[in-house]
A and B are shown apart, each in its own frame.
Chain A
């Protein structure tokens, strides 16, 4: 089924992230460290799907198609992927100086409507979207039709030596983060700014939540909740040093036909260092 090669990574990713949306679990990729010195270093990553921040206790996700952008903009690859019961682990060799981006991204259309009082959906579970399939499955004047154009992206960043910005360039598709403050140059006592784009344009009014790791050892989530301004920007005051789970949600009605609404979800794992 997943044999249209150019789209395969996206579709597999869609399955991982799709389950996140439906079951309200969180998927994450956590680097063991984000700022490195020396030559030819390696970073190990933990990845999983769970509700708890960086506590692998639900399922290991499917990370075989995680993509890597090297500091020079070329594509890289993770190695030594192992999938355990609750957690996936893999490594990345840092052979160039600068900032690496690891991500899983997907986008697609989904139609919801009613027929004879029954809720219908296209594409169904395990199906993939196509214009022909859409035309065949969705009636011309379907009742209560909502066609959503949804994008998802999950990513993290690591840097060997001085931070660089080649790998941080926006793709112009879906909801994405543009680094104002470099994501590998974050310090507890300083503010950091990030801009969010939807299909390359400022995502105004996106809801952004940041939660510091270690929720297991405190009674409250202590989430930082922010809304992007007219430039799509937020400014974050950190709750101390640690790794953070950042989640952004955006929705509007500026979708391209046949979609009637457009939504994006974005997740990043960031490390904030002590001053």
Chain B
């Protein structure tokens, strides 16, 4: 799982890192995430629904970081496909009241997407020391579904980056932790 960081992600990670130094105090521990949604060469394309969450090693969802879905549809019709992110739906989605402040957002198209979270503040919260898995699940209407898992430990003494890559619905994913 601890692959070298893909070259294509480096500028993004560096940019994200510099940005947070300028905004946050140097002591604030943070988690930066770079997610690639691949371009699909298909006749009918819908932006994927994506859920990003952290589980502890007993596969309990600890915290939801992001859920991208179509919240703008009439009569909350977009919620109809939330269950297609099966693992996320099972672990926490089905007990949530949508939308969730600071977690849910609009679907995103292909390309690199960057997210930044601070330990101790929502939606990441403070993590107890231990082993975790950051999981990203994508499901696309008339398309496929894929889950990418990135194991990591918290806390870290040195800045660390963990990477993984999907093969169909998700591309390169990198989790960077600054202690």
Q: Which A residues have a C-beta under 8 Å from some C-beta of B?
A: 35-41, 161-163, 185, 187, 273-275
Stretch of B7-15, B88-96, B111-119 that contacts chain A: B88-96
Stretch of B22-30, B73-81, B126-134, B166-174 that contacts chain A: B73-81
> Cα distance A174–B25 when bound, in Å?
68
> Cα distance A185–B89 when bound, in Å?
11
Interface check B83, CB cutoff 8 A: yes
- By DSSP majority rule, is chain A's interface helix, strand, loop, or mixed? loop
Interface size on B, residues (CB 8 A): 16
Residues of A within 8 A of B78 (CB): 38
Q: Which B residues have a C-beta under 8 Å from some C-beta of A?
A: 75-83, 86-87, 89-90, 93-95
Is A37 a contact of B90 with CB atoms below 8 Å? no
> Cα distance A273–B147 when bound, in Å?
14
Sampled A-B contacts (13; CB under 8 Å) = A36-B80, A37-B82, A37-B83, A37-B89, A37-B94, A38-B77, A38-B78, A38-B80, A39-B76, A41-B80, A161-B94, A163-B94, A275-B87
Is A36 a contact of B76 with CB atoms below 8 Å? no
Residues of A within 8 A of B82 (CB): 37-38
Known contacts A37-B93, A161-B94: does B79 contact A273 (CB below 8 Å)? no
Residues of A within 8 A of B93 (CB): 37
Contact of A38 among B79, B87, B95 (CB under 8 A): B79
Is A35 a contact of B83 with CB atoms below 8 Å? yes
> Cα distance A35–B84 when bound, in Å?
9
Residues of A within 8 A of B81 (CB): 37
Is A37 a contact of B79 with CB atoms below 8 Å? yes
> Cα distance A189–B77 when bound, in Å?
31
In the complex, residue of chain B having the shortest beta-carbon distance to the beta carbon of A159: B94
Query: Closest 9 CB pairs between A and B?
Result: A38-B79, A37-B83, A37-B82, A38-B80, A162-B94, A162-B95, A35-B83, A161-B94, A37-B79
A46: min CB distance to chain B, Å? 20
Residues of B within 8 A of A162 (CB): 94-95
